[in-house]
Homo-oligomer: A and B are copies of this chain.
Amino acid sequence: MKIMVTGGAGFIGSHLCDRLLAQQHSLEVVDDLSLGREDNISHLFSNPAFRFHNCSILDERFDEIMAAGSFDVVFHLAANSDIQEGSRDRRVDLQRTFQTTFAVCEAMARNDVRQLLFASTSAVYGDVSAPAPEDFGPLEPISFYGAAKLASEAYCSAYAHRHDIRSWVFRFPNVVGARATHGVILDFIRKLKNNSSELQVLGDGNQQKPYLHVHELIDAKLLAWQRVQPRPLEVFNIGPESATTVRCIAETVVEEMGLAGKTRISYQNQPFGWPGDVPRFAYDLRKIHALGWRARGSSDNAMRRAVRDLLAESEV
């Protein structure tokens, strides 16, 4: 297959490129390197089945790339992935997540590209602690990150129905692993490298969310993509069946850095890390389980594995 990966130099996108090339697909990556890093994909530059375009989706050149590529499918991952940054400046998610999705759908419709895999998020559900099936709401995002993803899903739906673009929407949990650019694990590692005697945690440490290793996320996406999908649009929650507290992450990072007994971990007296943070979340995973995918390990294990990935990476 001829595949475009937007955001392919990013954390999840670059792991996806590795996997798709291993499956003998031919790839073109579009990434403006605003969050992605050339380092994540430079090992692929010598592969003749791989091509990199340093280009924004909002640039006029993007349509030319789509027109020239004769793509069978677009894996659209380009987006703002920093939720807190989107709270500080409300146009960040609007432009980097929503407007890019509109531009991708538009270019696909104009150039008859017929398959779209969109990277959405559990944040579209908002502050709901109960498991949420894909086809039921409420969909009530409490962050601009979640709003931009839901707005994008809305347009994926209209393009799927009106322009015959078969679309898979994946609502991601917290995804962790090597090449991550931000998130709680990296925050803790950075703080501890700066000052190993104390780790200040945002919130009371009881925030509890599902963490999934990036390799397992990609397994789930590729499995769903390979199955026959009779409807124009299918939405899938993806996640592990368990969740991990921020307290557990703090203790694991301290332990893996060899600081157990040396670092004092302190917490705040509020149940959320920052405004817009959803303190507890659990998915309804029946739909992706029915397809045959299930997270192999627990959320705690995925998190510990990611801590090791990131510590190994930072020692290079």
Contacts and interface: CB of A to CB of B under 8 A. Distances in A.
Interface of A: 87, 90, 94, 98, 102, 106, 109, 124, 126-127, 134-144, 146-148, 150-152, 154-155, 157-158, 161-162, 233, 235, 275-276
Contacts of A142: 157-158, 161-162
Contacts of A127: 161
B162 A143 contact: yes
A157 B126 contact: yes
B140 A157 contact: yes
Interface centre among A94, A146, A152, A155 (most CB of B within 10 A): A155
Pairs of residues from A and B, 6 with the lowest C-beta to C-beta distance, nearest first = A151-B151, A147-B158, A150-B154, A142-B161, A147-B154, A135-B138
A284 B1 CA distance: 44
A271 to B, nearest CB: 15
B276 A162 contact: yes
A121 to B, nearest CB: 12
Contact of A151 (B135, B155, B161, B275): B155
A151 B124 CA distance: 11
Contacts of A147: 154-155, 157-158
A41 to B, nearest CB: 31
B141 A158 contact: yes
A124 to B, nearest CB: 8
A139 B137 contact: yes
A235 B139 CA distance: 11
Contacts of A98: 151
Given A137-B137, A140-B233, A154 B157 contact: no
A128 to B, nearest CB: 10
Nearest to A98: B151
21 contacts: A90-B106, A124-B154, A127-B161, A134-B138, A135-B137, A136-B137, A137-B139, A139-B139, A139-B154, A139-B157, A141-B157, A143-B161, A143-B162, A144-B155, A146-B154, A150-B157, A151-B151, A151-B152, A151-B154, A161-B276, A162-B275
Given A139-B157, A146-B158, A150-B151, 17 more contacts: A87-B162, A90-B109, A126-B157, A127-B161, A134-B138, A135-B137, A136-B137, A139-B154, A141-B154, A142-B161, A144-B155, A144-B158, A150-B150, A151-B151, A151-B154, A158-B276, A162-B275
